Structure 1
Amino acid sequence: MSDWPSLDWPAWRETAIALQLRTQIIGKVRLALTPWLNHSWHVPLYVSARGLTTSAIPVGDRILEVDFDFRHDRLIFMTSDGRSRGIGLQAGSIADFHKAVVACLTDLDVPSAFDGTPSEMPDAIPFAEDHAQRPYDAEAARAFWQALIRISRAFGEFRTGFLGKASPVHFFWGSFDLAATRFSGRTAPRHPGGVPGLPDDVTCEAYSHEEASIGFWPGSDAYPTAAFYAYAYPSPAGYAAAKVAPDAAAWDTTLGEFILPYDAVRAAPDPQAAILAFCHATYDAAADLAKWDRDALECPLGRPRVPRVVA
């Protein structure tokens, strides 16, 4: 077994759900303050040396940055005028966390009005009304972060092999997953919407162009296992039957996606190579079946200090 951390969804479920709700509160702060960017790229968080970060959020002539510091169990608010505030990441209610976030923003003279309802979660309770006491397992949160560090490295390397439009490697707080997407450059049929907890106009804009996505989530009640996933939109004919790698990867008819269990990657002799094999195989299937212009869109994977050769 490699040094990749164990991610046992049932064991850290309560902490994971509490952490998802907390990341949603901070994500919605960013959403309220940032101009819309295609495919909702203005709202995700990013893996950082501390944990997860919003990156720079514009606030008039200043910048706000909010970091989940999993090393020191803190949520840190920083502004470009040198001020900062912090909240402990610990057991407690989402209502109390929400109240503390609003107080920090107010103290920093940052607008504190944002959407107060969770997204993409069943039976959502407004943050300010969620008074249930929730645990916080700091070691489990750190293990999740350490997994994200390793996975973002593999996704980032895969991203270097594409010349066309491609997303950053980013963490979506609604679905609580790390993702990266490649685009063919062609528009896609209008998405039918209907995603629970997500407005149809957001869904339709997110899937406005033909894409092939890869991602990772730590599990959920609907799928209580940490896993990598891959899908194409629109899904080309024959995609579900495509042969993909590594051997542990398979099409899940319920989810409508290829799935690679995290534990299979963790047990692989070279976990990074296993992730890259999954990325390449699922993308290859989507691009070939949908007849993407691969010669124009692709390039060799990047290497440090070696410029891409241009003919």
Structure 2
Amino acid sequence: MTAPARSAWPKLRVADWTATRDTLHMWTQIIGKIRLAHAPLVNHWWQVTFYVTPRGLTTSTIPYGTGAFDIEFDFIDHQLRIRTTEGTARGVILEPKPVAQFYDEAVRALHELGVETPIQPWPNEVEQAIPFPQDTVHASYDPHAAHLFWRQLLQADRVLGQFRARFVGKVSPVHFFWGAMDLACTRFSGRPAPTHPGGAPHCGDWVMVEGYSRELSSCGFWPGGGEEGAFYAYAYPEPDGFREHPVLPSSAFYSAQHGQFLLPYEAVRTADDPDRTLAEFLQTTYEAAAEHGGWNRAELEDDPHRWDGPHGVASAGRPYDQGLSGGS
């Protein structure tokens, strides 16, 4: 079930799948808006995101009346799977087709399951916002490329999850935002942030105001910014000295154009130790935000192995249960 460290990180040139990427982006926006229509607001829009699964990307459970449903992009069998708590299910084949057709098929499948979902039928955070029912421009789907992208996300999700475990302050899940099509994890200092100016295309400024309402250090991966995509890290607000802070590895750099540090995906993929290379980038860019921003690191960070040892995870694997039962 596991692959050697380097071979687990697949090669996928952005130029080789741009048409599929852009079509898939629109498909994820449609499904993301369906989750948005039913899930109650959680700070920073965390209720709208997707999560990496052993087969693709899922909405997780979406409440509907007194029941629920979920939707998953399966990038192994290339199906959009919709399931309800009534035991019913529908599928939409992931294959080359216009966004307009995918939109019609997804909405029809939900209707057949008794789920009615009116959404704003146009994309956000993109320059070319063609309404979904009219979009015949984006119509590509290369199943091999989609599968490789999911494998990129799988590795990024794993290392980001390990990085997240070292923070005990407020921190987001590792989740996929369909607006910008990126996998992200965000740490917070605990202090409010200045009002964000907004400015994302076809997206109300109030969306960014909510998303950036607290001081933060964010990192993640998106299929752009490098030949094979890029890992990124930024701070909001960006403290003085942030962009000059020395970060690892040597292939990482601060992009004034993007206002963030970037690490090309290919630099991680081809490294002798990809996990360590990415972990160094995540840690040093976080330190750039925390040190120059004056974060209380002593209260916000901890060792995820703090319960290892003769009475903890290493011996029994269930230290929490032991603590509840009074075991030693």
The TM-score by the shorter chain falls in which range? over 0.9
**Residues 33-42 or 299-308, more deviating:** 299-308
Q: Which residue number in structure 1 is paired with residue 21 of structure 2?
A: 16
Structure 1 position 201 matched with structure 2 position 210? no
Alpha-carbon distance in structure 2 between the residues aligned to 1:226 and 1:77? 29
Contact 2:32 2:48 in 1 (8 A): yes
After the TM superposition, list the runs of 4 or more consecutive aligned residues in structure 1 that deviate by more than 6 angstroms: none
Pick from 122, 125, 139: which aligns with 1:134?
Answer: 139
Alpha-carbon distance in structure 1 between the residues aligned to 2:42 and 2:138? 36
Deviation at 1:255, TM superposition (A): 0.6
Q: Which residue number in structure 2 is paired with residue 2 of structure 1?
A: 6
Pick from 69, 76, 79: which aligns with 1:71?
Answer: 76
Alpha-carbon distance in structure 1 between the residues aligned to 2:115 and 2:77? 24
Q: Which residue number in structure 1 is paired with residue 108 of structure 2?
A: 103
Structure 1 position 232 matched with structure 2 position 238? no
Q: Which residue number in structure 1 is paired with residue 326 of structure 2?
A: none
Alpha-carbon distance in structure 2 between the residues aligned to 1:275 and 1:224? 17
Pick from 154, 162, 166: which aligns with 1:157?
Answer: 162
Structure with larger Rg: 2
Name the aligned partner's letter for residue 169 of structure 1: V
Deviation at 1:306, TM superposition (A): 7.6
Pick from 194, 197, 216: which aligns with 1:192?
Answer: 197
Q: Which residue number in structure 2 is paired with residue 290 of structure 1?
A: 293
Q: Which residue number in structure 1 is paired with residue 37 of structure 2?
A: 32
Fraction of identical pairs, as percent? 45
Q: Which residue number in structure 1 is paired with residue 245 of structure 2?
A: 242
Pick from 177, 187, 192: which aligns with 1:172?
Answer: 177
1:175-198, Cα deviation, whole Å (9 max, x unpaired): 000000000000001111112222
Contact 2:232 2:260 in 1 (8 A): yes
1:136-160, Cα deviation, whole Å (9 max, x unpaired): 1000000000111111000000011
Give the CA RMSD over aligned residues: 1.6
Contact 1:158 1:301 in 2 (8 A): no
Alpha-carbon distance in structure 2 between the residues aligned to 1:306 and 1:151? 27
Alpha-carbon distance in structure 1 between the residues aligned to 2:157 and 2:38? 26
**For structure 2, which runs of at least 5 residues remain unmatched after alignment?**
324-328
Contact 1:268 1:274 in 2 (8 A): yes
- SS of the residue corresponding to residue 105 of structure 1 reads helix
Deviation at 1:122, TM superposition (A): 1.1
Deviation at 1:13, TM superposition (A): 0.4
Deviation at 1:301, TM superposition (A): 3.2
Deviation at 1:270, TM superposition (A): 0.9
- SS of the residue corresponding to residue 240 of structure 1 reads coil
**For structure 1, which runs of at least 5 residues remain unmatched after alignment?**
none
Deviation at 1:275, TM superposition (A): 1.1
